[in-house]
């Protein structure tokens, strides 16, 4: 089969790799139908030192089960399934607590002998715990939205859930990337009345408005914080979703939060140290969020995608074939494309 | 009247100051019966640069109302009252949300023309919102425990509440100061089954055991974290109360927390930057807590002090007169006394 492999910053190649086969009785092999490029893939694309051994890319995919191990009972050959961005058994104590990212038998795609999601097929460990059957056929127009359940929609939802968003709330979403936009959608779905989106890319913030953002702020830093406060009564916002991952975005989140406010972080921090000194304690600021247990959220979100209540697939605004994956990365890095869909 | 004034590190003096008088119609003047020295008073005692103008000290006190402004209706002359460590109106939107520390009309003792709590009398602004009548007489043996409602007991309780402590929980409390010990008491009161206390001072950790700690760990740093993990099944603890305020204590809290865990910070951070990088996000660690809304908690905690369910006054293990306040600070700084009670 062919798969996308990264050898260093800006260096993505499509290579021939061995076809995946069942290795464990709990494995399934999934033939990829749709995949995509994650915002987090852009970090190594920008900074990975050149490496002799490539890194298999991709962790968001949807496909058709080709083969299953003898212990797999929940899915079978021919099923159309979506995979969350890490695999998990869905039975351990972490999974039971809704922390599938921390699953005791879980792990990531593209490492440890597991294929990446940006390839023609993937061996999925813990198939019963990981894969979710989709009650549509492989030609359904809903497929892009269903694909977002693997990561971005579940991640945006995690932000809204951990920030405690509920009916009537005012919510600030920092970042107009795919996760930020899905956080807008998730906040609205949970009943937020006012959703302020901070982002500078009009095409993206326009989609944010379509997803439910009531206000858009293009300014950043102190000026952006002042705008947030102006728009929301002066005290800041009680529920903030930080969907960028930079130090500057965290500083904005803290400055824009009201006393007693909750900041949910979704972006993987590009910093090791954050400004969590006396003022955050004196202001009772809570820092929460994290890596989404995307698998846990699929049962809740799937019906809303199927009936069209939410259409998160709109974040996938550029379509590429596997051979075009290097272009897909470049287009996302250059911000010509918000999130690249890969078709097989 | 006489009051304690700090002029620099190690330099506390007892001085004559003008007797407080009613300035606002919402003021009360309280004649102090008991006060105490806070762990947070020790930070300036260790580091305050020499100053020509002294700083009025103290923010925990209990006393008898001497006079009230014309708009005060909730307390009257002769009432025995306890004051939370900041004053507040108890009616603004922050107070209504249980954030009395952020009260729109609130403030701190010892600044802005308001007396400190380590003096013979205090003008208390927003008396109706601040002061709580105590249904005991001034000779009651419960007074030291009632005094702790002004700060340490309410602060320990805030840690347990914001960490989400409930029946059957395992809780880690870092720090054997008065706040840490009150957090032990609060965690037990909320039903925690296992309470691991990290502290090195046997007399304090013994009191911690009396307050409900089931395990005591004297080791610090990596060794201490390893002991926590050994004692609690290997994964770390889901609910951590950090009652020290140093960077090292925060690092211990993060390392000892289980994935998905909550760390409640009670100590005022002695750092500006904290280690809140990728691992805290990938592990879904929540950082919460903050300055306790002590006033909000008094109605809940008071009955338990009155009926002897909790006896937080035991943290007050040294008694000093106002003239002896310099000795009280020295004794606490030298760790000869856990928390100094000041009698009038």
Q: Which residues of B touch A40 (CB under 8 A)?
A: none
CB proximity B234 to A under 8 Å: no
Structure tokens at A228: 């947030």
The structure's pTM equals 0.96
Instruction: Give the model's pLDDT for residue B203.
Output: 96
pLDDT at A113: 93
How far B328 CA lies from chain A's nearest CA (Å)?
A: 26
pLDDT of residue B151: 97
Amino acid B52: pLDDT:
87
CB atoms within 10 A of CB A26: 22
pLDDT at A171 over 90: yes
Q: What integer pLDDT is reported at residue B97 of this predicted model?
A: 94
Confidence category of residue A58, pLDDT binned at 50, 70, 90: very high
Find the mean pLDDT for residues A192-213: 98
**What percentage of chain A reaches a pLDDT higher than 90?**
98
Across the interface, of B259, B268, B274, the residue whose CB is closest to A273 is B274
Phi-psi region of B160 (alpha: psi -120 to 50; beta: other; left: phi over 0): alpha
Residue A52, pLDDT score: 87
Residue B309 burial (10 A CB sphere; 0-12, 13-18, 19+)? exposed
B51 confidence band (pLDDT: 50, 70, 90) = confident
Please say if the pLDDT value at position A35 is more than 90: yes
Token representation of residue B302: 């008071």
Q: Single out the residue of B58, B68, B6 nearest to residue B32, CA to CA.
A: B58
B282–A288 CB contact, under 8 Å? no
Of B324, B321, B320, B318, the C-alpha closest to B336 is B318
The pLDDT of residue B50 is 94
CA dihedral in degrees (A38, A43, A46, A49; nearest 10)? -120
Q: In whole angstroms, what is the distance from residue B258 CA to residue A94 CA?
A: 10
Kindly state the average pLDDT of the residues B316-326. Answer: 98
Whole-angstrom CA distances from B140 to A80, B34, B112, B344 are 73, 12, 33, 15
CB A89 within 8 A of CB A104: yes
A284 touches chain B (CB under 8 A): yes
Mean pLDDT of B28-33: 98
Which residues, in sequence order, are bridge partners of residue A107?
A87
Chosen for mutation from A287, A291, A292, A293 (greatest number of chain B CBs closer than 10 Å) is A287
* CA trace torsion A175, A181, A186, A189 (10° rounding): 130
Strand order in the sheet with A11-16: A11-16, A2-8, A55-56
Residues 54-93 of chain A with CB under 8 A from chain B are none
Q: Are A36 and A340 in contact (CB under 8 A)?
A: yes
CA dihedral angle for residue B257, residue B260, residue B261, residue B264, rounded to 10 degrees: 130
The Cα B149–Cα B138 span in angstroms is 16
Q: In the A/B pair of chains, how many CB contacts fall below 8 A?
A: 109
Q: Is A164 on the interface with B (CB under 8 A)?
A: no
Which residues in chain B have Cβ-Cβ distances shorter than 8 Å to A285?
290
Residue A260's pLDDT is what? Answer: 98
CA distance B336 to chain A (A): 27
Helix (H) or strand (E) holding B80: strand B80-83
| Helices vs. strands in chain A: H and E counts, helices first | 12, 18
Would you put residue B197 in left (φ > 0), alpha (ψ -120 to 50) or beta? beta
Token pair, residue B262, equals: 């909550």
> How many Å apart are CA A328 and CA B94, to the nearest integer?
48
Q: Which of A91, A39, A85 is nearest to A62 (CA)?
A: A85
Which residues in chain B are closer than 8 Å to A250, comparing Cβ atoms? 276
**Per-residue model confidence (pLDDT) at position A56:** 97
Average pLDDT over residues B93-110: 96
Are A265 and B282 inside 8 Å of each other by CB?
Answer: no
Average pLDDT for chain A: 97
What angle is formed at CA A224 by the lines to CA A220 and CA A226, rounded to 5 degrees? 155
Residue A267 has pLDDT above 90, yes or no: no
Q: Return the bridge partners of A121, or none.
A: A31
Mean pLDDT over residues B128-133, rounded?
Answer: 98
- ipTM value, please give it: 0.95
Determine contact: B271 vs chain A, CB below 8 A. Answer: yes
Residue of B267, B281, B286, B293 best to disrupt the A interface, most CBs of A under 10 A: B281
* Mean pLDDT value across residues A42-66: 95
Between the alpha carbon of residue B158 and those of residues A108, A127, A224, B60, B284, the distances in Å are: 38, 43, 32, 16, 21
What average pLDDT does this structure show over A165-184?
98
The span from the CA of B23 to the CA of B29, in Å, is 10
Query: Which A-chain residues 132-161 have CB contacts (< 8 A) with chain B?
Result: none
Count CA within 13 A, CB hemisphere, residue B22: 16
Long-range pairs for A258-261 at CB < 8 Å and ≥24 separation?
A259/A235, A259/A283, A259/A284, A259/A285, A259/B94, A259/B99, A259/B101, A259/B102, A260/A284, A260/A285, A260/B94, A260/B97, A260/B98, A260/B99, A260/B102, A261/A236, A261/A237, A261/A285, A261/A286
**pLDDT greater than 90 at residue B278:** yes
**Rounded distance, CA B42 to CA B329, Å?**
7
CA distance A193 to A171: 8
Whether residue A268 and residue B284 make contact (CB cut-off 8 A), yes or no, is no
Read off the pLDDT band of B80 (50, 70, 90).
very high
Tell me what pLDDT residue A162 has: 98
Contact B260 A102 (CB under 8 A): yes
Nearest CA in chain A to B288: A286
The DSSP letter of residue A323 is: G
């Amino acid at each position: 089969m062919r798969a996308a492999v990264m050898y260093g910053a800006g260096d993505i190649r499509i290579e021939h790799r061995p076809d995946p086969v069942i290795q464990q009785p709990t494995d399934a092999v999934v033939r990829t139908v749709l995949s995509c490029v994650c915002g987090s893939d852009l970090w190594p694309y920008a900074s990975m030192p050149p490496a002799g051994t490539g890194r298999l890319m991709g962790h968001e995919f949807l496909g058709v089960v080709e083969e299953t191990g003898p212990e797999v009972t929940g899915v079978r050959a021919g099923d159309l399934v979506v995979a969350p961005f890490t695999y998990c058994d869905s039975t351990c104590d972490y999974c039971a607590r809704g922390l599938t990212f921390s699953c005791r038998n879980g792990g990531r795609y593209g490492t440890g002998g597991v294929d990446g999601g940006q390839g023609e097929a993937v061996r999925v460990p813990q198939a019963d715990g990981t894969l979710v059957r989709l009650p549509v056929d492989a030609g359904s127009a809903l497929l892009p939205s269903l694909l977002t359940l693997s990561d971005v929609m579940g991640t945006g939802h995690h932000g809204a859930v951990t920030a405690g968003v509920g009916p009537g709330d005012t919510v600030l979403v920092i970042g107009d990337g795919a996760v930020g936009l899905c956080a807008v959608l998730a906040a609205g779905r949970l009943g937020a009345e006012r959703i302020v989106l901070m982002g500078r890319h009009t095409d993206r913030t326009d989609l944010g408005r379509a997803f439910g953002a009531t206000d858009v702020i293009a300014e950043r830093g102190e000026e952006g914080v002042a705008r947030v406060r102006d728009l929301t009564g002066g005290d800041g916002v009680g529920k903030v979703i930080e969907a960028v991952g930079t130090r500057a975005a965290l500083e904005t989140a803290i400055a824009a939060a009201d006393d007693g406010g909750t900041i949910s972080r979704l972006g993987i921090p590009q910093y090791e140290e954050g400004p969590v000194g006396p003022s955050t304690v004196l202001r009772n600021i809570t820092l929460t969020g994290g890596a989404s247990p995307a698998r846990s959220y699929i049962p809740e979100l799937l019906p809303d995608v199927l009936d069209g209540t939410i259409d998160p697939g709109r974040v996938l605004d550029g379509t590429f074939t596997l051979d075009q994956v290097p272009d897909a990365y470049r287009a996302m890095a250059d911000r010509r494309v918000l999130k690249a869909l890969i078709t097989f």
